[in-house]
């Protein structure tokens, strides 16, 4: 029996079919059981007054407490974990800004503040690596230089964590990633941000940033040899055609090979004022191609892709139900069917409340393709804000 109920009459276990009042303002992504009080409270807070319930499909839920705990953990990801990760990311950008300012003016770099914020990132990664990975997708096109350095630090930390490296090693890698591009402050902005193809002489000037970085970092008191090493080697290639030293094969450490992959991946996926970034899946294809040409370590590229997931956390995907969803976490046993949360309908185009979906268990729902927010005149800022409020 299908009946309409006032929002005050809702109970855990009722099978929700539709929102009737206010009409047309809110739309469910799918019908389903009300699993916890949080859903009911959220409906009340949004101003929903009446809903349609299928009493035949409604059940008593003796295990409601257990289901509720799972749901709360899913909601917590955007409401708390990603918000926390975003604060660390923004704090990192502010410190990065000071680092570039000090380097430009010939002042010693404040290694203490860099170590402090990278330690915060690492602690979060050990607790929940997906949160910071998700935040990497919230980027400002006009702040590429700042955000790229922070992102590379986060990526190499996540990669090293995936490879089960020790925390002390990860700390040094994170600092090296954070500082690896500091020498770009010595490169003229008109060349650094040139939208078109660089001339040979302009490319030589761009390449000089690596030597500038080495000089600045090596003069930083208490910098570790490993942090300097990864910054020094981030543009070296296995075939010896990299820079600044043109070293190859066994002369490039595993850490140098790792940061090269992280650096290129972030450069490929980042949007800048003059170009759109690639979707992550396309970037993986380019990394594989570079490995085939002996620029990058093939085994490490495959491990990096495994680490990030076929559909990385924070990636946007289009579902065959004509909805956009964000990847929340991986399914290690079924990499092509991650856990996602729908948030946007493509017909009609509007944000809508969506439940967490484990695609490995909902076989009728498929990912059509990996997309970018820009493809639909959206931006990651508004998407994350919506998800943080909706849970």
Q: What is the residue-level pLDDT of the chain in tens, covering all 391 positions?
A: 888 899 888 888 888 988 888 887 777 777 888 877 778 877 887 888 999 898 877 876 544 444 444 455 555 677 788 889 999 999 999 999 999 999 999 999 999 999 999 999 999 999 988 889 988 887 777 788 899 999 999 999 999 999 999 999 999 999 999 999 999 999 999 999 898 899 999 999 999 999 999 999 999 999 999 999 999 999 999 999 999 999 999 999 999 999 999 999 999 999 887 788 898 889 999 999 999 999 999 999 999 999 999 899 999 999 999 999 999 999 888 888 999 999 999 988 999 888 889 999 887 889 999 998 888 998 888 888 888 876 4
Q: Which CATH architecture has domain 80-308?
A: Orthogonal Bundle (1.10)
Give tens-digit pLDDT for 208-235: 999 999 999 999 999 999 999 999 999 9
Distances (CA, A) of 96 to 11, 91, 327: 50, 9, 28
The pLDDT of residue 66: 44
CA-based nearest residue to 147, from 95, 203, 213, 210: 95
Token pair listed for 290:
């570079």
For 1, how many CA atoms within 13 A lie in the half-sphere containing its CB?
A: 4
Instruction: Report pTM.
Output: 0.78
- What's the pLDDT score for residue 242? 97
129 exposure class (CB count in 10 Å sphere: 0-12, 13-18, 19+): buried
Give the domain ranges of the chain: 2-62, 80-308, 316-390
d(CA 203, CA 103): 22
Residue 205 exposed, middle or buried by CB count within 10 Å (0-12, 13-18, 19+)? middle
């Amino acid at each position: 029996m299908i009946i309409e109920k006032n929002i005050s009459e809702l109970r855990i276990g009722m099978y929700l079919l539709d929102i009737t009042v206010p009409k047309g303002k809110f739309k469910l992504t799918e019908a389903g059981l009300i699993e916890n009080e949080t859903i009911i409270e959220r409906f009340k807070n949004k101003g929903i007054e009446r809903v349609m319930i299928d009493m035949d499909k409604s059940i008593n839920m003796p295990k409601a407490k257990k289901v509720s705990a799972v749901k709360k953990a899913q909601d917590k990801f955007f409401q708390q974990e990603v918000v926390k990760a975003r604060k660390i990311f923004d704090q990192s950008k502010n410190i990065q800004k000071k680092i570039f300012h000090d380097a430009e003016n010939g002042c010693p770099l404040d290694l203490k503040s860099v170590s402090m914020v990278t330690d915060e990132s690492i602690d979060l990664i050990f607790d929940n690596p997906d949160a910071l990975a998700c935040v990497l997708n919230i980027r400002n096109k006009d702040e590429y230089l700042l955000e790229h350095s922070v992102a590379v630090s986060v990526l190499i930390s996540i990669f090293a964590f995936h490879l089960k490296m020790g925390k002390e090693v990860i700390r040094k890698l994170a600092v090296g990633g954070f500082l690896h591009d500091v020498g770009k402050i010595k490169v003229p902005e008109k060349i650094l941000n040139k939208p078109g193809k660089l001339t040979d002489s302009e490319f030589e000037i761009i390449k000089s940033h690596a030597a500038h970085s080495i000089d600045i970092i090596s003069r930083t008191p208490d910098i570790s040899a490993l942090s300097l090493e990864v910054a020094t080697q981030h543009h070296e290639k296995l075939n010896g055609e990299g820079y600044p030293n043109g070293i190859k094969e066994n002369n490039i450490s595993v850490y140098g090979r790792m940061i090269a992959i992280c650096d290129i991946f972030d450069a490929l996926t980042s949007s800048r004022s003059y170009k759109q970034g690639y979707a992550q899946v396309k970037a993986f294809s380019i990394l594989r191609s570079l490995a085939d040409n002996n620029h990058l370590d093939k085994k490490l590229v495959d491990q990096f892709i495994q680490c990030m997931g076929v559909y990385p956390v924070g990636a946007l995907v289009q579902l065959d139900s004509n909805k956009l969803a964000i990847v929340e976490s991986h399914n290690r046993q079924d990499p092509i069917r991650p856990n996602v949360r729908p948030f946007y309908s493509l017909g009609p185009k509007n944000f809508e409340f969506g439940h967490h979906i484990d695609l490995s268990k909902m076989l009728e729902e498929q990912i059509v393709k990996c997309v970018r927010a820009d493809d639909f005149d959206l931006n990651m800022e508004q998407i994350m804000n919506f998800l943080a409020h909706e849970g």
